[in-house]
Amino acid sequence: MTNQLAQVVKVRIGSPFRERIVHAPRGKYLVVQGKDVGSDGNLILDGMVRIAEAPSKRAPDILAAGEVVFQTRGVSYRAAIVPDADAPMLAAGSLFILSPDTARVSPNILSSFKSTRYPSGASPDGDRLNHPESAAFRNRADRSAAT
C-alpha cells in the first residue's frame, strides 16, 4: 500500500517575522531558525534566540514535541525532530513544519530524508531527493509510510 505524503503528514509554514529577530534573554518563546537545525537531525537548543512576544497578533503557532522542522532554503534541506523544551517554540518562516500521523509514519523517518548518498541531495537524474516539493521526496515518503 502506498500513501501520498499529504495523507500521512500535515505541512505548515513557520511564522513570518516582519523585522529582524532580536534576542530577549528572558523571552517567553524560543525561535527555531534554519541555523538551529543540526546536520545530525537534532535541534541545536544552546544559543537559540528567545523573543518576548509572538510576531503576529494571532495566537502563536507553538511547535509540538515530535513534529519535524524542515529547511526550505539553502542546499542541504536539513530536518530535525522537535524535542520537549523548557519554553514554547516557534518556527521562523524559512522552515516547514511537518506534523506526522504517527500511527502511519514515524517522525524519525521524516527527519531522515535529510540524509542521502548524493551530493547536495540531488539524485543522478538531478531531482532533489530531500526537497519536499520534488517527486523523489514524495516517492520516498510514500515508500516509508507503507512500511
* Domain limits, the chain: 5-146
Q: What is the pLDDT of residue 44?
A: 94
Q: Is-contact 20 30, C-beta < 8 A?
A: no
Q: Report the distance separating Cα 109 and Cα 28, nearest Å.
A: 31
Residue 92 pLDDT > 60: yes
Q: What is the pLDDT of residue 75?
A: 73
Please report the pLDDT score of residue 137 as a whole number: 54
Q: What are phi and psi of 29, to 5 degrees?
A: -110, 145
Residue pLDDT, tens place only, 55-83: 888 899 999 999 999 888 877 778 999 99
pLDDT in the model for residue 5: 76
**In the predicted structure, residue 111 carries a pLDDT above the cut 70:** yes
**Residue 120 falls in which region: left (phi positive, over 0), alpha (psi -120 to 50) or beta:** left
Separation of alpha carbons 37 and 88, rounded Å:
17
Backbone angles phi, psi at 102, to 5 degrees: -65, -15
Q: In this model, does residue 124 exceed pLDDT 60? A: no
Q: How many residues does the chain have?
A: 147
More confident residue, 140 or 12: 12
Write down the architecture of domain 5-146 according to CATH: Alpha-Beta Complex (3.90)
Of residues 136 and 98, more confidence is placed in 98
Residue 8, phi then psi, degrees to nearest 5? -120, -10
Mean pLDDT of the chain: 80
